[in-house]
Amino acid sequence: MKYFIYTIIFLALVFIGISVSVLDFSNLLVDESGQAMIVILASLCVIVLMLILLVSRGIEKKRQ
């Protein structure tokens, strides 16, 4: 499960990298740039959730 979580985090980072290359910094919320912003925000949420899951699993292991 640990490697699966790391894989998801890596894929989210790849999506962020691809989306940053699509961004047009003069018009961030227009057309493809707006979609890239949504992908970046969603990927950041995924990373935060996966890190919370890793921490909670670590706490659970220490508790047992």
56 dihedral zone (left: phi>0; alpha: psi -120 to 50; beta): alpha
Q: What dihedral angle (degrees, nearest 10) is formed by the CA atoms of 31, 14, 12, 33?
A: -10
pLDDT at 22: 92
**pTM of the predicted protein model:** 0.88
- Whether the per-residue pLDDT at 1 is higher than 90: the answer is no
The CA-atom distances, in angstroms, between 43 and each of 14, 23, 24, 27, 63 are: 9, 15, 19, 21, 30
Residues 1-29 have a mean pLDDT of 94
pLDDT at residue 28 greater than cutoff 90: no
